[in-house]
Structure 1
Amino acid sequence: MKTTLQLPYQLKGFLELGDAVIITDSHHIILEVNDTYQTITGFERNKIIGLKAGFIKSNLTDQSTYTSMKTSLKQLIPWSGIFINRKKSGELWHSSITITPFQIGEDLFFIGIFRALEQLEEGLYLSENKKIEVQRELLKVLAISCEIRDPGTEEHLIRVQELTEVLIKAHNKKNNLQLEPNYINNVIHSSILHDIGKAGMPEGILYKPGALTSYERKIIEMHPLIGADILNKMSKEINYDFIKSMEVAENIILYHHEKWDGTGYPFNLKGEEIPLEARIVSIVDVFDALTTRRPYKDSWSKEKALTFIDENKGKHFDPSIAETFISLF
């Protein structure tokens, strides 16, 4: 679709900007681009004028971004967002764009100004969803690598993570806690790390088929402290914002064996002295341990495990969280 509309002189100044600039008519047909746009994209001006501005779409930009853009521009409101487009070479082009409507006489124009995110001082741009995905996968790799000696442990860790997600979201909704989404994601992701301290446990004790002696029990009860030490040593070497804050993970590792009545370990914390994230993971961890066969025990039925949790609310478990958990089944 070629256009016969000429570019008004009032808009030509935008083409001198250092960022990539594209100017379209009201139907988003390209009227002009500047040299920077040609340099970055590899598309020559005389071959793209008259094309729809979206010809460089990669189909990787979330559809909600386009919906938001169209809604704003229909109301003649400037819009800013992130696009993932393709250059002529096929290479992806991540860019922040601001599109501003301009009414000149009876004609409407749109000025798009692109800033290539790859060229920003911070270097790499990650969307919020991508940050969450990267965080989740990095913590998963860390957790599994710490427990590589037992192939069955990986399945336990993933089940704990999945059930933690269900429980924290249900408990937040049921009690109108208004927990921040970032906190909820942090708890879900960090739950997979709860037992990393067992990497420091002797295998003869960790997988002993019979009952532990009091001495062996004391060694096992050191694993939250060992886990926190592993986490702290690792986090000192990490500079990325999306995995730098480890407070929630540390709380889960240190306190998921504390009990509501103060008889847990390693610090004998009681009630709400125990961080919420640890109280949530505690129930999930015990439930999965009870319903899974281990070298030293047979698996329990779901019904028997839920009865145990019900009988121990107010003793081992936070009663409110325990009630939420039971209601899930």
Structure 2
Amino acid sequence: MSESDLKTVLVVDDEPVNISVLSGTLRNQYRVIVAKSGKQALERIEQVIIPDIILLDIMMPEMDGYEVCRILKAKPETKDIPIVFVSAMSDHQDEEKGLSLGAMDYISKPLSPSIVLARVQNILQFKEAQRALESQNKQLEQKVVERTQEVFLTQNVTIHALASLAETRDNETGNHIRRTQHYVKTLATKLMADGHHLDELNDENIDLLFRSAPLHDIGKVGIPDHILLKPGKLDVDEFEIMKTHAQLGAQALAVANDAVGESDTSFLRFAREIAECHHEKWDGSGYPKGLKGEDIPISGRIMALADVYDALISERIYKPAFSHEKAKGIILDGREKHFDPKVVDAFLATELAFIEIAEQFKD
């Protein structure tokens, strides 16, 4: 093994005999650098090389070993160098002080070469194992990050695949799912900023709402074509069947949620709420359960306004596209009837963002 492959030991002592003993003990297995004072030791480290381990005398003129240790432990580039105090001060309090400053070991003089060698070997082996463990942990952390990204991507692909499936069965949707997705995020972010529903609305959950919003009409895949694709207005019986899409979507997402064992904060939980509750109304006149007021999950209340707004500004077989101002007026008329008043307030405060989203993702 060449000298460049050897671990480096810095020996710091003001007594030549101690330097000689330590150097003689270690030089066959390690590269040994010596310093005769604390100041010289710091210079060696700064100008020559950062050692793998330091054997440090305590009682030295000008700067004792304790001070050298304090300085080294205070610097990011040297704080992890293992320090072993080598001293004739054998009192337990001296040893305790050295260890409290961050030293890894304490060897008392007179020196036993075999003990010195064994301590140095043990410490360097420990540090090597520690570095290996840290490297393994970083690799595991990277794998976790990669796996998390993979899960995130899989969720998004699944969401959009399912949403696209529903879209293919409804010739009126167009960019509806993209617009409503951004409306939902805009409303939720404003509600959070105003201090509303902070038990539900935070950055993480708003992201989940944004990602799960495209599944609000997934239940339409279970509606017969002659009803879903009917060019005219639905009759009473047909509309009753159409309304079942909310429950059909919620049931499908509940099965998926149970199958993967998602937690209560999962995107599937929000997707299920949105699918089931986006046609509920603040006054209790909505469907499928006739929920009223705060009994409607906030996700459903937000989706309700986003969905209605987009339906109003979009052209349909049975109606032309309404202007933003006309849609706004209809939503204001629905305040405290169809819509949660706080959600309406959030809409009014962000209506410019709604206009921009509608333009960005227009059909």
In 1, Cα distance between equivalents of 2:179 and 2:167: 15
Match of 1:230 in 2: 252
Aligned to 1:153: 173
- Poorly superposed stretches of 4+, deviation over 4 Å: 29-32, 74-78, 109-112, 116-120, 122-125, 127-134, 239-245
Aligned mate of 1:325, from 343, 347, 358:
347
Q: TM-score, normalised by structure 1?
A: 0.63
SS in 2 for 1:186: helix
Pair 1:30–1:323, CA change in 2 (3 A): same
Structure 2: distance between partners of 1:118 and 1:236:
32
Cα root mean square deviation, aligned: 3.9
Question: Size of the alignment, in residue pairs?
Answer: 246
1:268 deviates by: 0.7
Partner in structure 2 of residue 305 of structure 1? 327
Structure 1 counterpart of 2:159, one-letter code: L
**1:210 touches 1:296 (CA, 8 Å); kept in 2?**
yes
Which structure: larger Rg?
2
Q: Which residue of 1 aligns with 2:184?
A: 164
1:200 aligned onto 2:200: no
Distance in 2 (alpha carbons) for counterparts of 1:195 and 1:291: 18
Structure 2 counterpart of 1:101, which letter?
A: D
Shift of the 245–166 alpha-carbon distance from structure 1 to 2, 3 Å rule, reads: closer
Identity of aligned residues (%): 31
1:178-193 superposed matches below 5 A: 178=198, 179-193=201-215
* C-alpha distance in 1 between matches for 2:319 and 2:337: 23
TM-superposed deviation, 1:176: 5.2
C-alpha displacement of 1:31? 8.9
Q: Which amino acid aligns with 2:81?
A: F
Corresponding letter in the other structure for 1:301:
S
User: Structure 2: how far apart are the matches of 1:119 and 1:240?
Assistant: 23
Cα distance change, pair 258–75 in 1 and its aligned pair in 2 (3 A): farther
| AA at the equivalent of 1:135 | Q
Who is 2:135 aligned against?
114
Structure 2 partner of 1:294: 316
**Alpha-carbon distance, 1:183 to partner:** 1.7
Q: Give the alignment partner of residue 173 of structure 1, picking from 193, 198, 204.
A: 193
Please list the CA deviations of residues 158-202 of structure 1 after superposition, one character each: whole Å capped at 9, or x if unmatched: 111111111111111023543332222221111111000011112
Q: Which whole-Å deviations, capped at 9, do the CAs of 1:215-251 have from their partners, x for residues lacking one?
A: 0110011111111122123334436779966222211
Where does residue 213 of structure 1 map in the other structure?
A: 235
**Contact 1:255–1:275, Cα closer than 8 Å, also in 2:** yes
139-148 vs 155-164, greater mean Cα deviation = 139-148
Is residue 2:287 matched to residue 1:258? no
Kept after mapping to 1: 8 A contact 2:246/2:276: yes
Unaligned runs of 5+ in 1: 11-24, 33-73, 79-98
Structure 2 length-normalised TM: 0.58
Q: Distance in 1 between matches of 2:229 and 2:146?
A: 41
Q: 1:5 to 1:250 in 2, by over 3 A?
A: same
- 1:126 is aligned to 146
Q: What secondary structure, in the 3-state scheme, does the structure 2 residue paired with 1:197 have?
A: helix
Structure having the higher strand fraction is 1
1:144 to 164, 179, 182: 164
- Measure the CA separation in 1 of the matches of 2:316 and 2:50: 66
Residue range with higher mean Cα deviation, 160-169 or 179-188: 179-188
Show the 5 A alignment for 1:17-36. none
Instruction: State the distance in 1 between where 2:82 and 2:51 align.
Output: 15
Q: Alpha-carbon deviation of 1:127?
A: 6.9
Q: Give the 3-state SS of the residue equivalent to 1:321 in structure 2.
A: helix
Note closer, same or farther for the CA distance 1:255–1:311 as it changes in structure 2 (3 Å cut). same
Report SS of the residue matched to 2:136.
strand
